[in-house]
């Protein structure tokens, strides 16, 4: 499940469609903080990131925060939940 600005989308296909519909050509992430914690004895990881986004050719960065839950899958992980929020001030 993806929550993007209070809108929830569930399922891999629907999430890809949501992200493509945003219309950005390029997004540069500047990470300010990154925190991670084990979420269960099964190896899940909870991650929180804050930073700034530069979208397309805009000069003014937009601040954001994002929390996602990683689930182990063999020698890799997949994103089980993802919460993204632009931080307006």
Which has the closest alpha carbon to 78: 11, 28, 31? Answer: 11
Does domain 25-86 sit in CATH 3.30.1600.10? no
Domain boundaries, the chain: 25-86
Per-residue pLDDT band for 61 (boundaries 50, 70, 90) equals very high
Per-residue pLDDT band for 57 (boundaries 50, 70, 90) equals confident
Q: Residue 35: which H helix or E strand, with range?
A: strand 27-38
pTM for the predicted model, two decimal places: 0.77
- Distance from first CA to last CA of the chain, Å, rounded? 27
CA–CA dist 68, 46 (Å, integer): 6
Secondary structure (3-state) at 17 = helix
Radius of gyration of the chain (CA): 14
User: In this predicted model, what pLDDT tens digit does every residue of 6-42 receive, in sequence order?
Assistant: 889 999 899 889 888 887 888 899 999 999 999 999 9
């Amino acid at each position: 499940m993806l929550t993007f600005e209070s809108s929830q989308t569930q399922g891999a296909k629907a999430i890809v469609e949501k992200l493509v519909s945003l219309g950005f050509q390029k997004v540069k992430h500047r990470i300010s903080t990154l925190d991670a914690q084990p979420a269960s004895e099964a190896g899940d990881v909870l991650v929180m990131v804050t930073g700034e986004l530069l979208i397309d050719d805009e000069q003014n960065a937009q601040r954001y925060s994002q929390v996602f839950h990683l689930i182990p899958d063999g020698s890799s992980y997949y994103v089980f939940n993802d919460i993204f929020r632009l931080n307006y001030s």
